[in-house]
A and B are shown apart, each in its own frame.
Chain A
């Protein structure tokens, strides 16, 4: 349904196709995109699927949720563009989304 591009810390790009409603975390972990762990399986409970939203896509993706804020406050290198990728689901207006991966998940 829509494409998402993950840009690793070292610049390597992975573009994959996500089904509608599929999360960016599941997309990465089930397509061998390195750099996202997703230890808790998608409950915003571990903070290991941290991504930075590309500036061009910030508005479309929308604001961070309270559950994400709880976990993101302890993530390494957290910034205003930080999100947990398990909380972002593919939908038509996110086709082409670009996210940047942190150096490592923590």
Chain B
């Protein structure tokens, strides 16, 4: 892990949140703001819009008036915003013209293919290399392995919930969402359970922007991720020297297609598996409780009909959209919906917007746990990069809610959540709650 690589893979040295204009703090003000600008001035890639959760109206306007929208950002360069469900699907499934390749810029807004390139990881690769690396880790989330994991996750979920305080306020993110997902992730890596919260910290740092509450300076990213990389490199060598085991590090260290991968490629995949296997499910667990509190009729319905848990889980994954976007880079000039996207330009698929597209989802702004086709959301992406761990994510949410409903008549959200400062990870740093009583 050279400094150069870490520096190029982390946030830009000049990154400063004060660059971004301040934003309205209520959705009503945001709607006025969104519709009062010239359409060409709409810049959705402002983390403050996500931090204050007022991004909705801006995407609504783009979907209606300029669904394939270009903006020249001094921070990110020229980027295209794809905001309709069907258009996102078209790009996501067209991996020949729209590349995920890390060296071209990878899968988020930051990379530019020049001085900013994320670490190589299989989500940021094209076929055929993507395919063999993904297939190497895929057995971890096979139906058979998930069946083996289920009792362990349930036992842990039960223990976490049984230890919660009654009648006092506490942070649901810290005590439940982080705990359960960190335990699962530590199991997948065969990482020491007592150090599991290092994984959540690294996961937060990996996608953090300086000044957003997780890290203060870009160099802090290099320092903390350096510790992460060092730790995992050591584990790689340990596992490589042993018989193949059933954990992700061992799978990569022994896999025919991965055992000779350069260290920085292993590190890239570690980041991918930490963030993908942790943040997303964590934030959706927190999001489920928030959504049910904001929609008490739906919470009542869930209590009366626990068989709706799978539908509620899918609806929450849509409603939350734990990763707001994925990015591609045009591999050639492409004419798309009447616009010319030039080779090398960034194309941002805003999943958060696709999941609110009324052309595809009826009453998209409503949280409804009994939708006819709840799995038809775009949060997992489509095509060859579709979320590899989607069933494990659903399983954890399913289990935690089965165990919650057995124990507590209600869990009340008692204040505003603190949201993540990011255009990528859509989540919560804290969520204050109170459990009045047990059943």
Q: How far apart are the CA atoms of A76 and B95 in the complex, in Å?
A: 22
Cα A48 to Cα B373 with chains together (Å)? 14
**Overall SS of chain B's interface:** loop
A96 to B384, CA, bound (A): 32
Give the residue name and chain of the A residue nearest to B387 (CB). Answer: A46
B383 on the A face (CB < 8 A) = yes
Q: Find out whether the CB atom of B386 lies under 8 angstroms from the CB atom of A45.
A: yes
Encode contact with B along A21-61: 1 for CB under 8 Å, 0 otherwise: 00000000100000001011101111110000000000000
Flag if B384 contacts A39 (CB, 8 Å): no
Number of A-B residue pairs, CB cutoff 8 Å, is 51
**Residue on B nearest A39 in the bound complex, by CB:** B375
B376 touches A41 (CB 8 A): yes
Asked whether A37 lies within 8 Å of B375 as measured between CB atoms, the reply is: yes
B388 touches A74 (CB 8 A): yes
Q: Does B215 contact A (CB under 8 A)?
A: no
What are 11 pairs between A and B in contact, CB < 8 Å? Answer: A40-B382, A45-B93, A45-B383, A67-B93, A70-B95, A70-B127, A74-B134, A74-B388, A103-B143, A106-B143, A106-B391
Residues of B within 8 A of A43 (CB): 89, 93, 382
Cα distance A104–B390 in the bound complex, in angstroms: 13
B382 close to A46 (CB less than 8 A): yes
Contacts of A41 in B (CB 8 A): 373, 376
Number of interface residues of B (CB under 8 A): 23
In the complex, chain B residues whose CB is within 8 Å of the CB of A39: 375-376, 380
* Chain A residues with CB below 8 A from B343, complex form: none
Tell me, yes or no, whether B295 is within 8 Å of chain A by CB: no
Residue B260 CB within 8 A of the other chain: no
> Which residues of the partner chain A approach B383 to less than 8 Å between Cβ atoms?
45, 70-71
In the complex, A65 has a CB within 8 A of chain B = no
Note all chain A residues with C-beta closer than 8 A to B95: 70
CB closest chain-A residue, reference B383: A45
Asked if A45 and B382 sit within 8 Å, CB to CB, the answer is: yes
CB distance from A82 to the nearest CB of B (A): 15
B96 to chain A, nearest CB (A): 10
Nearest CB of A to B229, in Å = 27
B142 at the binding interface (Cβ < 8 Å): yes
A44 to chain B, nearest CB (A): 8
